[in-house]
Structure 1
Amino acid sequence: MKKTTSLLAFVLLISFLSIPLKGQNKKTEFNQELATKLGADKYGMKAYTIVMLTTGATKIEDKTKMSELMKDHLGNIGKLADEGKIIVAGPFLEKNKENYRGMFIFNTKSKEEAEQWVKTDPAVKAGVFSYEIFPWYGSAALPLYLEHHKEISQENP
């Protein structure tokens, strides 16, 4: 029950942060072409799928092998991002009782499709990570941040 409550609180926080606050900026003109391109509903939102990576059953003690696996993991994330399938990815910075290691937000409302994509991850295949999948509702503009991220990152893993 606590795990579900913690996850619910986390998802609600992300949902809240994805909704633009009124009065934050002056009113912008509605852009139907952009809304249609992004698949936005009348609220500017759409369905996504969140994948929470958890600690898997496999432990790899060999640091070289683990380093190579993580390099491949990051490469796969980049590939999925380039394909427009993954729009948010990142590790958690602190240990937590749920054993969440990181998360993905996939640009799909299909849990089945998200599961196919997460299974392409070398660390998931190796059993280092396991995962939980959740439907999520957030701003349809979320995929646009990736193009700006490239403008502000000096290095990519």
Structure 2
Amino acid sequence: MIDLLLCYENANLATIAKTSNGKFPDEFATDQTIIDYLRPTRLRAYVEIEENRQKIQEHNLKKLEEDTAFQVFIKTLTNKTIIIIVTREDTVENITAKIHEKTDIPPNQQRIIYGGKQLREGLTLADYDIGKDATLRLIVNLPGGYY
């Protein structure tokens, strides 16, 4: 915070800016206004605020993109297509649970394939770089069967 002191010296008015802790006084020329004095400081602060605001907006946009729900297609061996809504943070367990809700196939009997690889429990769609409108393959294991 800046306190302003007005000093009269030989009928000339001098303005002194003094910080709230009393240190580092700066003198103004008599024709300089407070706004002129503060303008460079305000400009630097404004630029810094705008840079920080932009970084926050970019972070929030990235976070929004990560959390945004999208659809993926689940293709069965009988060529039936199931659509589920997911996020990149959904785990394989979440996917099998969503498939179970739509098909009544228990999660422990489901194998999900993407890009020729079986998806492993504990990993997320982001781990496999699975995004919007991807097609996953569903293979059903019958009880007592091998895979």
TM-score (norm 1): 0.26
Identify, as 1 or 2, the structure richer in strand: 2
TM-score computed with the length of structure 2 as normaliser:
0.27
Query: Which of these two proteins has the greater Rg computed from alpha carbons?
Result: 2
